[in-house]
Structures are given as C-alpha cells and as structure tokens.
Amino acid sequence: MKLKQTLGGGLALMLVLLSAACGGTNSGNTNGGTPDASPTEVASNNGADSSKGLTGEFEIQYFVGGYGDSWWKEVISGFQAANPELKITQSAGPNINDQMRPRWIQGDTPDVVFIDGAGSNERQMIDDGQLMDLTEFLKEAENTDGEKLTDILISQPTAYEGTKNYTLPLVFGSWGLFYDKAFFNEKGWKAPTNWSEFVATNEQVKASGISSLIHTGVYPYYINGGLVDSAIVAGNGGDGSILTQQANLEEGSFSGPAVQKALAQVVELVDKGMIDPGAVSLNHTDAQIQWLQHKAAFIPSGLWLENEMSKDIPEGFEFGFIPSVAQGAGENNIVIPYTNTIAIAEKAKNVEAAKAFVQYAFTKANAIRWAELTGALMNIKADLTNTSASEVVKEAMAFFNSDTTTVAPVAVLNADVEKAKQDATIALTTGRIKAEEWMQRLEAAAAKVRK
C-alpha cells in the first residue's frame, strides 16, 4: 500500500516536472517568436552604408553538401569585415536542416537560410509561413556594386500564389543527359540533338551490347528532371509554362496532350528496351559509377555530376551535356533548370542585416568565386570564360546563352504530388503501368492536395 502511495507521489511529481518542462519550452517559444527589437533598431539607425556598419546579431543557416562551405565562409568573412560591429553566427553542416528544425518550429529562427539538402523544401516553408515576403524588397534591391538584383539574375525568383516572391535563387543549374564524348567518338556515335537522333543513337548503342540509358531508379526525380520534364515542355511546343501550371496543381495539367506526347516517348524507350533493366534498383552512386564505367551511354542528372564523381572519373573521360532530346528536328533545346534558393525568415530578428547580406552576396565577383570554389553556377549572369569553372558548366552556360534554347521556369511541386510523380515514373519506366495510369495517378494526387 505504502509503496503504491510512494509511486503515486512519484507520478504526481513527474507530472509537475513535465508540465514545468513544457511551460518552460512554451515561454521560450514566445520569447523566441517575438523579434528582439533592439538590434534591428540600432542597425536601422546606422544603415548599411555607415562607416561602422550593421550592429546587433545576425544568424545564417546553410546546408553543407556538394557545394562545400568555402564560398560561404569567404563571403561571410567579407560581410563581417564590412560590418565589424555585427555579431555573426553561422549554423551550418550536412545535417543542419534537421538540427535547426526544432528552432524553426519554436519560432526561434535564423535570419537568413540557404534552402538546400535533405529535410528542406521551400514550398513547405512558404506554406508553413516561415519565409518573409520578399516581393517589394526584390523590386528595388541593388547589390553592393549598385546593380539591380533582378537585372543580373539568370533565373528570376519563383512566383508563388501568382505574384509573390519568398525566395531568391542562389544556385542555378540544369538537368539533362550526360555522355562521354571520348567514348562516343571512339565508337562513332553521334550526340543527339532531337528525338529521332536520340532513338537512332540508342539503337547503335544497344547493338554494341551495352545499355543506352541508365538512371537512378531509387531517386526517380533524376529521370523526371533529365528526360520527362523536358519532354513535357517539348511536347508543349517548347512552352515551359506547363510546368508552372503543374506546380499550381491546375486540373488537367498532368494529362494534356503535351504530357501524353512526353509519356509516349518514355514508353517508346521502354518498349525498345533502351533503359537499363537494372536501373530501377540503383541509387545515384551506383548508377553514376556504372555510367562512368561505360556500362551505359547516357545518364540523366544535373550539372553537379562531374564535381560529385570527380574522384571516380576514369582517365580520358570527357563529360558531354545535352539539356534535352525530346524535341523534334529544328526545334529549340529545352533547359529544365533547378535552383537552390536563399530566403529571409518571417521571424528574422535582424531583417536589416539579412537584407544587407543578400545584397552583399549577390555580386558578379561572388558569382565567379562560386563557380571557382564549387564548380557550379551561381544564379548571376557573370562571365566565366576565364575562370576555373568546369568545362561541362561552361558548355551548359553556352546552351543557356544560345538562341536555340528555351529555359523553362523553375517549378517546385507540392511534396505529395512530387512523390506520386516519382512513383508513377519508376513504374512507367519498368513497364509496370501504362501512360494512362501515370496521368490518372498524378491528376488524383493533385486533386487531393487542391482540396
């Protein structure tokens, strides 16, 4: 009996402790959620151009993945030198998105966030009201060299809810098909510029006994980005607005004639046995290694590929890049871009410094440093000819600047629809479903989210 009482007492104590713990967190939330007025005030008094620079505290969160962190460290230390009074905190690392999640939930957010890597999704952050509306800021904003930001961007900020901008693309790249130029020369194969050439090359490749197209079956968004999406835009007469319609979940945008045409092309590859039968079970590393070892001729991927695989590239391998193959003869190439964006938190405590950092970072000089340090492209029209950016990036840049290329808008699908699209595509490429079911699944997924 006594023991029971004691245990009961213990339980009561436990509950008290728990509620105290919860109360503590809650009050922490409220404090964290309310922007601390003082630093912002001081900062705005001084202004960005004052000799003393910004003051108060400034926190930036950035994911460290394929692009490394040397560019960030360099730019942030430059920003620090320009604002010696500002106390800068860097929250960075390969798991930073998960590490910072509790703070985002509690409203204790950093000021600026680079949205990249697993566990980050800009559409979801916007839906959750985590990002600041930058529409007005971007209309006027100039960088520290006095250039208007929107004038020097390659890809304009994605418009949400029709006209609102919440993010600014920092990294710009393109999906596409990659091949080994040296291998193609040796075999006498021609790099295709349209669909019939692509099919013809595939026949030749297949006849030589290797697979024509290998892809990352565990991550079907690679083949979506590198083949299916550009086929949809090509099927739409080169008009990329269809991707925006899909991102806006418009009814019928996943089953129109453009989509039908694109899926028919995928089915043609399946029927002719041009997709590596093992690809369905491969992750990106497996698929890329096999492609580097000439087990297949083409692989859909993004411009980061060369950098990512730099340690495993065999001697004499020459990266070739084709943005799209689905277009008819004489039609424009389609570039399906991807971006990684930077944004200011809705609950940023030092908005002034956050904006100043964006203006400081988006310069042509920093864009060149980005290309040199990461091997990828920053979303700024900068002349890379004399830089150490990789050849494949320069080749892609030539496509972006060409008259015969259409750059599609960046469209970010809702996560549920994105997953449905990946599942449907992998089922389609293994011949397990027909094109009709692909369209039905996507229309159903979009309808469910619209509700």
Using alpha carbons only, what angle is made at residue 434 by residues 248 and 287, rounded to the nearest 5 degrees? 80
Q: Which is nearer to another protein, 242 or 420 (CB)?
A: 420
Contact assessment for residue 387 and residue 371, using Cβ atoms and an 8 Å cutoff: yes
Contact assessment for residue 185 and residue 393, using Cβ atoms and an 8 Å cutoff: no
Residue 277 CB, shortest distance to another protein, in Å, is 5
Report the alpha-carbon distance of residue 362 to residue 192 in Å, rounded: 36
Residue 131 CB, shortest distance to another protein, in Å, is 11
Q: Which is nearer to another protein, 121 or 387 (CB)?
A: 121
Q: Which is nearer to another protein, 10 or 314 (CB)?
A: 10
Residue 1 CB, shortest distance to another protein, in Å, is 11
Q: Which is nearer to another protein, 101 or 148 (CB)?
A: 101
Residue 214 CB, shortest distance to another protein, in Å, is 9
Residue 220 CB, shortest distance to another protein, in Å, is 8
Contact assessment for residue 171 and residue 337, using Cβ atoms and an 8 Å cutoff: no
Residue 284 CB, shortest distance to another protein, in Å, is 12
Residue 127 CB, shortest distance to another protein, in Å, is 7
Residue 153 CB, shortest distance to another protein, in Å, is 27
330 CB neighbour count, 10 Å cutoff: 8
Q: Which is nearer to another protein, 22 or 398 (CB)?
A: 22
User: Where is 384: in which H helix or E strand?
Assistant: none
Residue 264 CB, shortest distance to another protein, in Å, is 20
Question: Between β-strands 211-213 and 168-180, what pairing exists: parallel, antiparallel or unpaired?
Answer: unpaired
Q: What string of H, E and C letters represents the secondary structure of 262-296?
A: HHHHHHHHHHCCCECCCHHHCCHHHHHHHHHCCCE
**DSSP 3-state assignment of 235?**
helix
**Spatial CA neighbour of 442 closest among 245, 270, 267, 175:** 245
Q: What is the dihedral of CA 358, 361, 367, 373, to 10 degrees?
A: -120
Q: Which is nearer to another protein, 7 or 264 (CB)?
A: 7
Q: Which is nearer to another protein, 108 or 229 (CB)?
A: 108
User: Where is 176: in which H helix or E strand?
Assistant: strand 168-180
Residue 81 CB, shortest distance to another protein, in Å, is 34
Q: Which is nearer to another protein, 17 or 264 (CB)?
A: 17
346 CB neighbour count, 10 Å cutoff: 18
**DSSP 3-state assignment of 61?**
strand
Hey, what are 210's tokens?
A: 């290797």
Residues that bind another protein (CB under 8 A): 2-3, 6-7, 10-11, 13-14, 17-18, 29, 33, 101, 104-107, 119, 121, 124-125, 127-130, 217-220, 276-283, 286, 289-290, 295, 415-416, 419, 423-424, 426-427, 430, 432
- Give backbone dihedrals phi and psi of 327, rounded to 5 degrees, phi first: -70, 155
Q: Which is nearer to another protein, 116 or 276 (CB)?
A: 276
Extract the runs of DSSP E, i.e. beta strands, from 331-410. 333-335, 337-344, 377-378, 405-407
Q: Which is nearer to another protein, 27 or 401 (CB)?
A: 27
Cβ-based neighbours of 17, under 8 Å, separated by 6 or more: none
Hey, what are 19's tokens?
A: 């509620």
Hey, what are 206's tokens?
A: 């297949």
Contact assessment for residue 397 and residue 381, using Cβ atoms and an 8 Å cutoff: no
Q: How many CA atoms lie within 13 A of 310 on its CB side?
A: 10
Q: Which is nearer to another protein, 126 or 177 (CB)?
A: 126
CA 258 distance to own-chain centroid: 24
Residue 161 CB, shortest distance to another protein, in Å, is 17
